Chain A
Amino acid sequence: MPPWADAVLVPVISLLLAFAISAVVILLIGESPWAALKVMVTGALGSSYGWGFTLYYATNFIFTGLAVSVAYHAGLFNIGGEGQAAMGGLGVALVLLAVPWPHWALALPAAMVGASAFGALWALIPAWLQARRGSHIVITTIMFNFIAAALLNYVLVNILRPVGSMDPASARFPQAAHLPKLGEIAASLGFAWGKNTPANVTLFIALGACVLVWLLIWRTRLGYEIRAFGRSEKAALYAGISPTRITVVAMLISGGLAGLMAINNVMGESERLVLNAVEGAGFIGIAVALMGRNHPFGILLAALLFGFLYQGGGELALWTTIPRELITVIQALVILFTGALDNLVRMPLERLWLNRGRG
């Protein structure tokens, strides 16, 4: 089978299968899939308001998708994006509350350091345990998601909560640290676009991260080592690549990327740290990375698709009787078909190609 078929045809057919079954699910709950699709498209893409939300969600998913993919290139399945992004939020909050920032352009790099450092730190422990103690990274990252949630709950309730407030949330970040929203930028340029939507300058950082991850994985020595290690641990060891170093470095980058997501949701949107700020984006990263075939460009496309699904799903819940959870089902089917069942599509396709070659 030619490489393009494996890279494009297999995921596209898997995706279509996932969508077909989603349509059947919608039919089963007595709604019209066509009408649902129309609500989703107009709600997510039909106005600059919809686009503002779609791009905001897509920004989250780019970070978590890249995070999952960097680990995946090293043969590590990082399910801990949720916890790492939550800890990244704590990093952002601590940085922004500790210093009275005079301008967002100064606050942003500092918050980025805080976010990625906390995310990376949260990934470091499972990485080290996998590299040195042989404990399976999937299990430890799952455990670390729960531990992060509990830790954050404790910190918000007992430490960061302002005196007199009943809300388990931190104080508001200083006004000067407010990140420009895309809608505000458009307004200052004199046209109305995406008013009152949370999409902000973090989108450009996410796009930059895509380019950097592409450079890292395919254009640097470290990226080569990561891929070699992911393909064959034995061969990598023989080539003088240290498994411990690659495992730890890949997970640090992965956790850092997941943590960076907090710039978008914590600093850019809510402007204070609240409970469950990540809203499952860490898990959606898994679907995004699988669908994007672990390539930054694929991840960008997949993140846009999931941004559309997320925003469209919200509109669906608003205007029809179909609950938001439809998105969870679609997400599950995408993960199932593009991740676990891709041989279901690949096997017949390979047979097709073999027969064609023979004939």
Chain B
Amino acid sequence: MNYSIALEVLDSAVRLMTPLLLACLAGLYSERSGVFDIGLEGKMLMAAFTSASVAYVTGNVWLGLAAGIGGAMAMALVHGLASITFRGNQLISGVAINFLASGLTVLLGQKWFGLGGRSPALEGGARFSPVTLPGADALAGVPIFGPLYREVISGHTPLVYVAFLAVPLTWWLLYRTRFGLRLRAVGENPASVDTAGVSVVRLRYGAVAIAGLLCGLAGAYLATGLSAGFVKEMTAGRGFIALAALIFAKWRPWPALGATFLFALLEALANRYPEISLGPLTIPSMFMNTLPYILTVIILAGFVGRAIPPRAGGQPYVKER
């Protein structure tokens, strides 16, 4: 593999990791507040659909983005109602949200566009266009760094940079603000937060809403940045890979960046080399695509580092107990 091919693979990894990173951070906020979220997939799918539909109808990708966020937020609200207000089973609610999104997107898509669940292809202003970072061409001559800057770092759509900026922002919010302290506390011991006079319900709704927002960005990126339109089931398990990355990162923002990059790199390699031959052994692409799931099971088993979720995760908070 020479340098220019390596750059191509890295570039494609950056594109592929963006939705994973956004969804992973979404899960991070929700689960840090004590609300398990296996509905990331559904929220992302809903957002992809609403953003593509509105972007197509209005021809404006920013309106599409807003609709995407709205779609994911609506799903997040359902999750909040079920798991916070009505103290239901958060896992069951997540499963329901995944199905709801999977069915509604096709049903509405068929009604609006009649293309069997697809949206029409997006063009021009209905898509995010790449941003060329300053100096990308001027620095192209610099050996090694120049091409890296031009091919891999520059030339992505705005949401890619938003996703990367969300990592330090999340770190700062989580570890350097009062909101972050309370958010982490409510995921470990909600009773203590309640005793301190802070509303558990409001904090958790806040976290679930942030998760909706980030899933909205992820879905909108999928439909209007990574590809040109909505396709049935286009999230293709990314919500679950993001969940896997979250466990890999042990619910921390910087490791989330690393984990999603690793998983995206695996996907990029599998796309470029469908079968990797190592002398007598040939690794099939199915194995590469499954590696994130296998790695997560290994991590969960505690053979390589231990992943301990927030203590109050999955349990509804009941004040009188």
What is the CA–CA distance of A133 and B86 in the complex, to the nearest angstrom?
31
Say which one of B75-83, B155-163, B180-188 lies at the interface with A: B75-83
The CA-CA distance from A150 to B270 in the complex, in Å, is 13
Task: Give a binary string over B59-82; 1 marks a CB under 8 Å from any A CB, 0 the rest.
Answer: 000000000000000000010011
Known: A135-B300, A283-B99, A323-B117. Contact between A340 and B88, CB under 8 A? yes
The one of A143, A321, A332 in contact with B99, judged by C-beta atoms closer than 8 angstroms, is A332
Contacts of B290 in A (CB 8 A): 146-147, 150-151
Q: What 1/0 mask marks residues of chain A from 325 to 342 whose CB sits below 8 Å from any chain B CB?
A: 111111111011001111
**In whole angstroms, how far apart are the Cα atoms of A37 and B97 in the complex?**
24
Tell me whether A144 is interfacial, beta carbon within 8 Å.
yes
Q: How many residues of B contact A (CB 8 A)?
A: 48
CB distance from A307 to the nearest CB of B (A): 18
A347 — which chain B residues lie within 8 A by C-beta?
Answer: 86
**Contact indicator A143/B293 (Cβ below 8 Å):** yes
**A→B interface (CB under 8 Å):** 25, 28-30, 77, 79, 125, 129, 133-136, 138-140, 142-144, 146-147, 150-151, 153-154, 158, 283, 286, 290, 321-323, 325-333, 335-336, 339-344, 347
Closest-by-CB residue of B relative to A79 is: B95
Contact between A129 and B301, CB atoms less than 8 A apart = yes
Q: How far is the CA of A147 from the CA of B296 in the complex (A)?
A: 11
Q: For the complex, is B6 an interface residue (Cβ under 8 Å from A)?
A: no
The answer to whether residues A339 and B96 also contact, given A129-B301, A323-B107, A323-B110 and a CB cut-off of 8 A, is yes
* A-facing residues in B256-309 (Cβ within 8 Å): 284, 286-287, 289-290, 293-294, 296-297, 300-302, 307, 309
What are 18 pairs between A and B in contact, CB < 8 Å? A29-B110, A129-B297, A133-B302, A134-B302, A135-B302, A136-B300, A136-B309, A139-B38, A150-B289, A150-B290, A153-B286, A283-B95, A286-B95, A325-B107, A325-B117, A336-B78, A336-B93, A340-B86
Given A29-B107, A323-B110, check contact A146 B293 (CB 8 Å): yes
Are A336 and B82 in contact, CB atoms less than 8 angstroms apart? yes
Whether A77 pairs with B91 at a CB distance below 8 angstroms is yes
- 17 more contacts with CB within 8 A, not counting A325-B110, A327-B103, A335-B96, are A29-B107, A29-B110, A135-B301, A135-B302, A135-B307, A139-B244, A139-B300, A146-B293, A147-B290, A286-B95, A323-B116, A325-B106, A332-B103, A335-B92, A336-B100, A343-B88, A344-B86
Bitwise interface map of B from 131 to 156 toward A, beta carbon under 8 Å scored 1, else 0? 00000000000000000000000000
CA distance A133 to B301 in the complex (A): 5
Q: Are B107 and A25 in contact (CB under 8 A)?
A: yes
Cα of A147 to Cα of B286 in the assembled complex, Å: 9
Q: In whole angstroms, what is the CA distance A77 to B97 when docked?
A: 16
Q: Are B301 and A336 within 8 A (Cβ)?
A: no
